């Protein structure tokens, strides 16, 4: 008898032309979804290259302003500022000093771009402490959660006073979002947004960042950052931060934690950011420099994968370049 043979199912039909591929594209990547992290270093007269992050520099106050103006012109989603002070102490005093490098950098950038580009700040003590930890140390050398919260509150107010539109508590202290929200509100900064680094893992991929900020850290951050094997606690920390008042939440790093990004995206009703961190940047740059990868497609594929996993916003050192590539 023999009826018709079963037809071959042909998914390739939808891939035949660029126009068909565009029609069925699921994942957008736009400059407005990208945030550029930048470093400003006290006392520099020339931008200083960071050898472990080719193409990224420690900015002078002047070159920082130019970078911010460019980011605004490119229509990026924002700029995230890190400060590198000349002098550090046990309490990270430079973080709360209005004349501290991060706070003057914020004011410089805000004067340059106004509200055209959301100016975001890393709210953490590790760049400012002589021991390199994200908080204050207790007598036994452990990181003292609640003593640290008091400094974070002052740091948030100092950053808001300097003009920050968004503060990013990244020290992984318990209760940090609630304390920062309360301090901001008490000082009248009701409109300042909190981007909480909620699910932040103790990662080997932060390596190049330690050079970028001349980190003094000996040891590790495993008593406050999360264990790489644990996804549930990532979701738990995100939900806690939302309860405490986070406006956006972040998963960090991105590439080794794409599953955590997806889990978080599936359960929250706030925007989710992911940080494509220094080591993820350095891996691609190093391989491309060796001729082992085609650099530009690798950059776009990396960012697309983070968006596909569920990130609404990506912090990436490639933000400006990706905006040009997407043009
Ligand atoms: C903490 C902070 C770190 C990074 C961003 N904020 C370092 C750390 O937690 O150890 C890392 C970013 C990167 O690696 O690109 N201030």
Token code pair at residue 114: 């106004």
Residue 172 lies in a domain: yes
In a domain, 208, yes or no: yes
**Which pLDDT score, from 0 to 100, does residue 218 have?**
85
**Cα separation of 199 and 234, whole Å?**
5
User: Which atom number of ligand 1 is nearest to the Cα of residue 125?
Assistant: 16
For the CA of 203, the closest atom of ligand 1 is 10
Three-state SS at 286 = helix
Q: Give the active site residue among 65, 88, 133, 200.
A: 200
Cα 258 off chain centre by: 15
- In this structure, is residue 60 part of a structural domain? yes
Distance set, CA 171 to CA 38, 53, 127, 145, 198 (Å): 18, 23, 11, 10, 9
**How many Å apart are CA 154 and CA 143, to the nearest integer?**
18
Decide: 198 and 169 in contact? Cβ < 8 Å: no
Q: Is 126 in the pocket of ligand 1 (CB under 6 A)?
A: yes
Question: Domain limits at 220?
Answer: 28-326
Q: Match 């497609």 to its residue by tokens.
A: 297
Distance 200 CA to ligand 1 centre (A): 9
List phi, psi (to 5°) of 188.
Answer: 85, 10
Least Cα distance to 36 among 316, 311, 322, 321 occurs for 316
Does the active-site annotation cover 252? Answer: yes
Q: How many domains does the chain have?
A: 1
pLDDT of 251: 98
Does any domain span residue 51? Answer: yes
The answer to whether the CB of 192 falls within 8 A of the CB of 153 is no
Answer whether residue 291 is part of any domain: yes
* pLDDT the model gives residue 3: 63
Does ligand 1 lie within 6 Å of residue 318's CB atom?
A: no
- Ligand 1 centroid vs 46 CA: distance in angstroms? 24
Question: What is the domain-level CATH number for residue 300?
Answer: 3.20.20.70
The answer as to whether 277 is a domain residue is yes
Quick check: is 149 in a domain? Answer: yes
Interior angle at CA 221, CA 216 and CA 227, nearest 5: 155
Asked if residue 54 belongs to a domain, the reply is yes
Q: Which of 56, 101, 123, 124 to probe ligand 1 with, by most ligand atoms within 8 A of CB?
A: 124
Q: Locate the ligand 1 atom nearest the alpha carbon of residue 124 and give its number.
A: 16
Tens-digit pLDDT profile for the chain (327 aa)?
Answer: 556 789 999 999 999 999 999 999 999 999 999 999 999 999 999 999 999 999 999 999 999 999 999 999 999 999 999 999 999 999 999 999 999 999 999 999 999 999 999 999 999 999 999 999 999 999 999 999 999 999 999 999 999 999 999 999 999 999 999 999 999 999 999 999 999 999 999 999 999 999 899 998 988 999 999 999 999 999 999 999 999 999 999 999 999 999 999 999 999 999 999 999 999 999 999 999 999 999 999 999 999 999 999 999 999 999 999 999 998
The model's pTM: 0.97
pLDDT tens per residue, range 58-99: 999 999 999 999 999 999 999 999 999 999 999 999 999 999
Predicted confidence (pLDDT) per residue in 125-137, tens digit:
999 999 999 999 9
Size of the chain, expressed as the number of residues it contains: 327
For 99-120, the DSSP string reads: TSHHHHHHHHHHHHHTTSS-EE
């Amino acid at each position: 008898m023999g009826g018709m043979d079963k037809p071959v199912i042909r998914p390739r039909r939808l891939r035949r032309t660029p126009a068909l591929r565009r029609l069925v594209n699921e994942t957008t990547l736009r400059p407005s979804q990208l945030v550029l992290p930048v470093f400003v270093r006290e006392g520099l007269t020339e931008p200083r290259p960071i050898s472990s992050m080719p193409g990224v520099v420690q900015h002078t106050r002047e070159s920082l302003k130019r970078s911010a103006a460019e980011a605004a012109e490119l229509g990026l989603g924002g700029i995230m500022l890190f400060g590198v002070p000349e002098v550090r102490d046990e309490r990270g005093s430079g973080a709360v000093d209005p004349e501290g490098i991060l706070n003057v950098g914020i004011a410089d950038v805000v004067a340059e771009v106004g509200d055209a580009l959301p100016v975001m700040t890393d709210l953490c003590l590790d760049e400012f402490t002589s021991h390199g930890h994200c908080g204050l140390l207790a007598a036994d050398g452990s990181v003292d959660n609640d003593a640290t919260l008091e400094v974070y509150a002052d740091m948030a107010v100092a950053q808001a006073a300097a003009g920050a539109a968004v503060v990013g508590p990244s020290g992984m202290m318990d209760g940090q979002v609630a304390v920062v929200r309360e301090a901001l509100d008490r000082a009248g900064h009701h409109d300042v947004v909190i981007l909480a680094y909620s699910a932040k893992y103790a990662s080997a991929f932060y390596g190049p960042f330690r050079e970028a900020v001349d980190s003094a850290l000996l040891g590790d951050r495993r008593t406050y950052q999360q264990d790489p094997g644990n996804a549930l606690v990532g979701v738990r920390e995100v939900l806690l931060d939302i309860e405490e008042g986070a406006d956006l939440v972040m998963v960090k790093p991105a590439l080794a934690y794409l599953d955590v990004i997806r889990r978080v995206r599936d359960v929250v009703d706030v925007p989710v950011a992911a940080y494509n961190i220094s080591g993820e940047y350095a891996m691609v740059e190093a391989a491309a420099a060796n001729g082992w990868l085609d650099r530009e497609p690798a950059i776009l594929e990396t960012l697309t994968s983070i968006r596909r996993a569920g990130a609404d916003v990506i912090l990436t050192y490639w933000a400006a370049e990706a905006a040009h590539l997407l043009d």
